[in-house]
Amino acid sequence: MATTSRISTAEEAVARIAYLSSDLIVSVQPAQAIDSEFSSHLQQFAGRKEKSVVAATENGVPEIEIVRHNADPLLSAFAPIRHGKLVSVTTSSSILVSSVPHLYRLANFPVVIHVSLQPANYPDYSSITSIRNSGFTFLQSETLQEAQDLALTAHALAIKSGKGVIHFFDAGSSAQDQEISCEDADVVKSVLDIDTVKAFQGGKIGGESIYADDGRVATISETSAHASGLSSVMEGVEATSAPNLPLDRIASEKHSEASSVGSSKSGRESSVEGKESVSSATTVEPTTTRPVTSDDIYNFVTAIWAQLKQNVGREYTPFQYSGPSNAEDALFIFGSDVGIFAKAIDAAKPSEIYAKAGVITARLYRPWLGSKLIEAIPKSIKRLAVLEQIRRKTTKWGPLLLDLLSTLKASPGGGVQTIIGHQLGYIAPETVQQALRGVFQNLKSKKPVQNLEVGNAEGPAESSKDYEFSQPKVESAYMKILDQIFGSRLYLANALDSQNAGISPTISSTPEFGFGSLVARKEHRQRFVGEVQKATSSKSLKNEAARKLLSSWATSTSDDKKASELADEVISSLEADGSKVSKELLASKGLFRKESSWLVGSDAWAYDLGNSGVHHVIASGENVNMLIIDSTPYSERTAADAVRRKKDIGLYAMNYGNAYVASVAVYSSYTQVLQAMIEADQFNGPSVVVAYLPYFKENDSPLTVLQETKKAVDLGYWPLYRWNPNNEEKGEANFSLDSERIKKELKDFLARDNHLTQLMKRHPEFSSNLSQDYGSEIRALQKRKAKDAYAQLLEGMFGAPLTILFASDNGNAETLSKRLGNRGKARGLKTIVMAMEDYPLEDLPNEENIVILTSTAGQGEFPQNGRAFWDAIKDNTELDLASVNFSVFALGDSHYWPRKQDKHYYNKPGKDLDRVMANLGGKRLADVGLGDDQDPDGYQTGYQAWEPLIWQALGVDKIEGLPEEPPPITNEDIKLASNFLRGTIEEGLADTSTGAISASDQQLTKFHGTYMQDDRDLRDERKAQGLEPAYSFMIRCRLPGGISTPKQWIQMDDISDEFGNETMKLTTRQTFQFHGVVKGKLKSAMRGINKALMTTIAACGDVNRNVMCSSAPTTSKYHRQVYACSQKISDHLLPSTTAYHEIWLKDENDKKTQIAGDAIQDFEPLYGPTYLPRKFKITIAIPPHNDTDVYAHDIGLIAIKGKDGQLAGFNLLAGGGMGVTHNNKKTYPRTGSNLGYVSKEQVHIACEKVMLVQRDHGDRKNRKHARLKYTMDDMGVDVFKGKVEELWGQKFEKARPFKFQSNIDTFGWQKDEHGLNHFTFFIENGRIEDTAQFPMKTGLREIAKLDKGEFRLTGNQHLIISNITDQDLPQIKEMMAKYKLDNVQFSGLRLSSSACVAFPTCGLAMAESERYLPELITKLEGVIEENGMRQDSIVMRMTGCPNGCARPWLAEVAFVGKAYGAYNMYLGGGYHGQRLNKLYRSSIKEDEILEIMKPLLKRYSLERKKGEHFGDFVIRIGMIAETTEGKTFHDDVGF
């Protein structure tokens, strides 16, 4: 092991020995993100790939498993030790007492636990004495060198004895020691005895759980010839005449198969099965087995120490005596001050009372070898002072004192006459002599005092709180919710920061302690009620009104609600009374209200429930609420649950029958958490709320927690439910399911009492989820059935077989595969076409011909539906493809990764697959084909060369009379055949067998305002479980100008809760968007939106979409005029089909409900049957604010004010657009061209004519070239303008002057010209939701309930509450402050940022956006603050793909998703939204982004000119070239 040659701390020394001597080290840490003194070294060793002496891993590096201290860490040792792994644990002493049940079971396994005693500056040795009878061997070290040597001793002893060893030490005792040399690895190897190690690793111990072998005892097997001379057959002792036989022959038939673990040399029985050891012995002696005894331990440890002495010259004995051989007095020290006492005695003057005294310490503390102690103590010793550093004594006498009394007083021959116990406190260096004088004066007195305290029992004054019991950051979410709901009523009985004098954090955080605290609290209130009753009958109150109120309260204490209602009046009257008794009662004024009492615990409470405090709380029937937070990530559930036997507390409590139970997850449903906690508080009896908050480390981002939560809830691992046994009395169901899937154990419980049937009746849409169990075996069965179904279809056909597999993200590889399959059938081949993930890999060696088409995702990765196949084949050494003919076609983009170091990502999946299949023996039908998006015909160029080679290899290349292939179905075909957007949407909605709709209907529903999506966070996990993707729908409203009434806001809020994912998105198109609407709720959601007098028609699709308008809060009259034009344009360009009303708005009699008039017509006077070639967007900006990005739209209207101050008309820009395809230079963003001025009376007509020219001249063959921007560039601006004017019959006037000053919102309060007030809220990335930290959604709803003013949505995804009178202002401000909505004190960078939705719902997303941009900004705000730019606005935008929903191409700095975690970086956009930016760096990750941005921001702060914006600055300094028009967007880019 290559390591540093010097060691300076005891923890480093111990960590190194544990690393060298283990297969697995369980590193117990205060938190996942906080290293212990051991783990920092362990991680360094592992990071350098340093090899262990014994680790049987492939690379020789031991495993390191990090476990939080409060997660029952010793459970992690059971499974590996049973499977032949040498396990060690590094921990502080804080876990020991709570781990007693596990220690008893582990004691007979060769596990080593290294314990650093805590607190670090004044350790409590009671952690050791409390567990001294657990069956472990205990070794104690004091110096740095001893820590290293005894750590090695512990590992060797565990291996030899088959028993657990605890090595404990106080690291502070050796803090001043000189550095030592690392122990030589050869010495470690010789002391451990590698033969014994390998014998143990070669087998396993029986039993599958920690409860399987509770009675297991470590035993020793020996030959009868040496039964009386045990030491002669022990490993490491020189006598070697004992026979070494195969272990299965040594074992007695009567001996348990799992009886022990031990040495093959010594002949002790091991559970290693069927392994033989080589020996020179030629005879066989009969063997016997017996338990390992204390004498055996002594023999083993002395043999180890003898070998250690031989190797390194250092000597150890079970008890260490230092001092004169003729001393009469001695100290026996069990604490951390041995060194300073010994030095003081050595330096003592002859006249000192403690001069010439001896010092005794225990190296081998357990087993307690009294006879060896007697041997170690000089016969001259008459008086012995025992110093024990035991801070939590459970008996009057210290445990060491009792050991010594039983040993020395009972020993023959007299010797020690006086043994006096002392309680050792903290000894400061300057008080050592004083302490020694006190001890020896007491010891030599005629009547010495037992249990005399020496030193400061409270420890040093600067003693710090034990950090290990700090609450993980992420777990504070539920604490905040409890505080929000109950406020001053909340009482946390076992809060981690409570001041429980004299009680250790370990004890005070247990359910038992908390329950006792609550019972005491209840009794306290009862006494308080008695005091109140006494006060009402006395004359000590000054105020008669106070006495009457107190009397009313006292008679209402049985009615919690009434008592709480009276509480405020009572408290006020007592404060006014001012008497002595009033002041006494007010000292406990919280007891006037019914408290909401809670115990808060972790998932550690879920182990061994029958013996835990949880059981006792539930069984008590007391009105106690328990909140139990489970932090096990879904991704780690299998490993954790299989070994650790964690039980379901919710099910346990429901089975008990008398408790309210809820299962909640704040990152899944905040509302359900609130509901459950309120119901738990109202329930009269025990309540259990199990709360999910998964995290890998305490500083995990909310995104990580969210993703893990979603998987767990969606797949039924963590179902959301509420169980109220009292509901039955009210005629309501006991069980309420708040998520869609439940796990088998919960289903079984519900089925017992027919709850499952009732649940299915209440939620028929969930029935398929509730009645099935899923697993990997289901997925395998699905694959097999699919393949067999194909085979059955092909039976009887002639021709060679051809299997075609595909992996596809965007559909190109899938389309090619299906077309290839059809062409193969036309040539007489028996073709099968399927996704790679659906193919049963075991069939691969039996294929005759197989071709695979794969696109390229991410950084040269397989698409999602090809990863499982690749993972199974890439390292497979068992597949034999010698009889398989294959070929691979890969689709990619040679310019997608432009940097030289990234070039190898081009078509990497296809190239890798071709290589691996050839290595497995496959024969190529044709060399790998490479499709390149940069070729003239894209990937088709390479494909057209590759496909004929396949037909040629299969001998079907010269087939004549092949039928003509039908052209592929395009969006234009779908629209034309849809009967004015009807398609088969109605039938698809009625199909309950799937959560999806057909591909063609997915295109049509866009016109109705909804997209089908699936949750990409859950794709892989659902696929593994045999489930279809988590399909849901996004709904977007059509809301011209973005104005909503308060009532409409509440209705939208209701829709998000009832039908969506409990959040709303305010979009960059100034409207509401809902996510997570499942198909069964889609129609109800649509009706709810229309009931609110809104609609969703034409919010998406190839039509004119939502018309935007500047919010302009300071010019309300002018805004109202412009807003009226946006409504007029929107209504004028609305599609005329009645399909929307037919599909979504039928009444109960299945008749059409007419919302917008009575006329029914099935033609489109503006659009025609195929509508527009692509989407069409219109926006209006009101100078000086370009807050709607007027240059970015198909039509941008700039409002022009007349001389009278009224709206006169608009400058009309045309041809703006944002959508781009990465590395496709034929696609680019474009800013609108100014066609001229149009009056307000004619503006809707002018917009119509622009749209009609696009309808008739736009590209309907290539959707990537179909937007108006390309039509204008193809035609030329002048020609296009002429076409518009020709249709219109009028000419555009000359454009009027205007000026923009910004394109961001102005936050905070503003007044308009009428004196009305407007407040702009900062809504980060437009997401309206409640979190534990910020109940934004609830707050906005409460403000809307006041029914004041109106709500304006901005184009930057923010919100304005408008038209608030001065009279209503205080009430609004009070409500805003209550819900923290008045905070706009964010950095200018954050206030100017914007992001699209991206993951998890957008199917086009390549990277995170909305969920990541806030994190990135946080990491940049430090440099912003340092350079005095907190208030400076820099427009930063992020999108998950290049389609441009957040309009990134106009931002001063933008990040556009390229692959997961990788972004293209763009610089140089105009601050007013008037100039496009340009690519600066391609495919960079967070570290590179920060490396670029931090120094750049600093340089900007130092070198900018007055008033110079960031986008202008980067152009001026030559960092990026200016983009002058869309067609030059790809010129002069970075790399």
Average of per-residue pLDDT across 1000-1027: 88
User: Choosing from 160, 722, 982, 1105, which is the catalytic residue?
Assistant: 1105
Q: Are 786 and 814 in contact (CB under 8 A)?
A: no
Spatial distance between the Cα atoms of 702 and 1121, rounded to a whole number of angstroms: 43
Whether residue 1396 lies in the annotated active site = yes
The predicted structure's pLDDT at residue 1052: 97
Backbone φ and ψ of 1320, nearest 5°: -95, 115
The whole model's pTM is what? 0.70
Q: Which one of the listed residues 105, 975, 1175, 1327 is annotated catalytic?
A: 1175
Check: CB of residue 102 under 8 Å from CB of residue 132: no
pLDDT band at 539 (very low <50, low <70, confident <90, very high): confident
What's residue 410's pLDDT? 57
> Residue 1321: which pLDDT band, with cuts at 50, 70 and 90?
very high
Cα angle at 1335 between 1333 and 1336, to 5 degrees?
120
Sign of CA dihedral 1496, 1497, 1503, 1507: positive
Q: How far are the Cα atoms of 61, 205, 632, 748, 1418 from residue 641, in angstroms, in the given order? A: 25, 20, 9, 19, 36
**Residue 750 pLDDT more than 70?**
no
Question: Among candidates 1233, 1218, 1226, which has minimal Cα distance to 1272?
Answer: 1233
Q: Using alpha carbons only, how large is the chain's radius of gyration in Å?
A: 39
Closest CA to 641 of 607, 600, 689, 609: 607
Q: How far apart are CA 1379 and CA 1336, in angstroms?
A: 7
Q: What tokens were used for 374?
A: 């007697």
Most confident of 246-255, 443-452, 1483-1492: 1483-1492
* Cα dist from 268 to 206, 218, 279, 284, whole Å: 17, 10, 14, 14
| pLDDT at position 545 over 90 | no
Reply yes or no on whether the pLDDT at 399 is more than 60: yes
pLDDT at res. 618: 81
Helix (H) or strand (E) holding 931: strand 929-932
Q: How far apart are CA 1028 and CA 865, in angstroms?
A: 12
More confident residue, 34 or 1197: 1197
CA distances from 678 to 691, 703, 736, 1378 (A): 14, 27, 15, 20
Provide the percentage of residues in the chain whose pLDDT is more than 90: 51
The β-bridge partners of 287 are 223
- Which of 1441, 1458, 1478, 1481 is catalytic? The answer is 1441
In whole angstroms, give the CA distance from residue 1085 to residue 1056.
9
Pick from 661, 655, 673, 666: nearest CA to 631: 666
Percent of the chain residues past pLDDT 70, beyond the cut:
85
1441 is catalytic: yes
Two tokens, residue 120: 């670090």
pLDDT in the model for residue 531: 85
Task: Look at residue 212 in the predicted model and tell me its pLDDT.
Answer: 41
pLDDT value at position 223?
A: 53
- Model pLDDT for residues 1113-1160, shown as the tens digit of each residue: 888 899 999 999 999 999 999 999 999 999 999 765 555 544 444 444
* For residue 644, pLDDT beyond 50: no
CB contact at 8 A, 221 and 250: yes
Q: Which of 1037, 1109, 1125, 1445 is catalytic?
A: 1445
* pLDDT for residue 915 is more than 90: yes
Q: 199, 269 in Cβ contact below 8 A? A: no
Give me the mean pLDDT over the 176-201 stretch: 88
Across 620-634, 670-684, 855-869, least confident range: 620-634
What is the Cα–Cα distance from 50 to 679, expressed in whole angstroms?
Answer: 55
Sequential DSSP letters for 37-103: TTHHHHHHHHHTTPPPSS--STTSPPEEEEEETTS-GGGGGHHHHHTT--EEEEEEGGGTGGGHHHH
Taking a C-beta distance cutoff of 8 angstroms, is the pair 172, 395 a contact? no
Handedness of CA 364, 368, 369, 372 (dihedral sign): positive
**Residue 338 half-sphere exposure, CB side, CA atoms within 13 Å?**
27
User: Strand 625-630 to strand 687-692: parallel, antiparallel, or no bridges (unpaired)?
Assistant: parallel
Given CA atoms 365, 367, 372, 377 in this order, what sign does their dihedral have? positive
Contact 1352, 1340 (CB under 8 A): no
572 CB-near residues (< 8 Å, 6+ apart): none
**Cα–Cα distance between 180 and 32 in angstroms, integer?**
30
CA dihedral 213, 214, 218, 223 (to 10 degrees): -60
Q: 790-807 burial by CB neighbour count: b if 16+ within 10 A, else e?
A: eeeeeeeeebbbbbbbbb
Average pLDDT of 1022-1040? 88
Asked if 710 contacts 668 with a C-beta cutoff of 8 angstroms, the reply is yes
Q: Is 1255 a catalytic residue?
A: no
Structure confidence at residue 215 (pLDDT):
58
| Position 236 pLDDT exceeds 50 | no
Is residue 469 very low, low, confident or very high in pLDDT (cuts 50, 70, 90)? Answer: very low
Angle between helix 670-682 and 476-486 (nearest 10) = 60
> Where are any strands of DSSP class E within 1094-1183?
1108-1109, 1178-1181
Average pLDDT over residues 205-209: 56
H, E, C per residue of 1292-1330: CECCCCCCCCECCCCCEEEECCCCCEEEEECCHHHEECE
1177 flagged as catalytic: yes
Cβ-proximal residues to 592 (8 Å cutoff; 6+ apart), any chain? 553, 563, 564, 566, 567, 570, 571
Digit-coded pLDDT (tens) for 55-65: 988 888 999 99
Mean pLDDT (the chain) is 84
CA distance 764 to 1471: 53
Residue with the bigger pLDDT between 443 and 851: it is 851
- How many whole angstroms separate alpha carbon 1063 and alpha carbon 1043? 19
Quick one: pLDDT at residue 64? 92
Q: Which pLDDT band holds residue 716 (cuts at 50, 70, 90)?
A: confident
Alpha-carbon gap, residue 272 to 86, rounded angstroms = 13
Catalytic residue among 1177, 1249, 1447, 1481: 1177
Instruction: Tell me the pLDDT tens digit for each residue of 68-111.
Output: 876 778 888 888 888 889 999 999 998 887 787 788 888 989 99
d(CA 1144, CA 254): 77
Q: Which residues contact 293 (CB under 8 A, 6 or more apart)?
A: none
CA distance linking residue 405 with residue 411, whole number of Å: 10
Q: Token digits for 1506? A: 């007055």
In the 3-class helix/strand/coil scheme, how is 781-846 assigned residue by residue? HHHHHHHHHHHHHHCCCCCCEEEEEEECCCCHHHHHHHHHHHHHHHCCCEEEEEEHHHCCHHHHHH
Does residue 1193 carry a pLDDT above 90?
A: yes
pLDDT of residue 996: 93
Task: Choose the catalytic residue: 1402, 1437, 1475, 1478.
Answer: 1402
- Both tokens of residue 370? 């009294």
* pLDDT tops 90 at residue 157: yes
- Residue-level pLDDT at 636: 64
Give 403's pLDDT tier (boundaries 50, 70, 90). Answer: confident
The token pair at 1277 is: 């601006």
Q: Whole-angstrom Cα distance, residue 471 to residue 494?
A: 12
Whether the per-residue pLDDT at 242 is higher than 90: the answer is no
**Which one of 1348, 1396, 1411, 1447 is the catalytic residue?**
1396
349 flagged as catalytic: no
Confidence category of residue 616, pLDDT binned at 50, 70, 90: confident
How far apart (Å, rounded) are the C-alpha atoms in residues 759 and 735? 8
Confidence of residue 794 (pLDDT cuts 50, 70, 90): low
Checking if the pLDDT of 777 tops 60, the result is no
Contacts of 728 (CB under 8 A, 6+ apart): 734
1402 a catalytic residue: yes
What is the model's pLDDT at position 556? 77
| Strands of the 1233-1239 sheet, one edge to the other | 1108-1109, 1178-1181, 1195-1201, 1207-1214, 1233-1239
Most confident of 409-418, 435-444, 617-626, 1408-1417: 1408-1417
What DSSP assignment string belongs to 398-427? -HHHHHHHHHHTTSTT----EEEEEEE-B-
- Hey, is 1390 helix, strand or coil? helix
pLDDT value of residue 300: 94
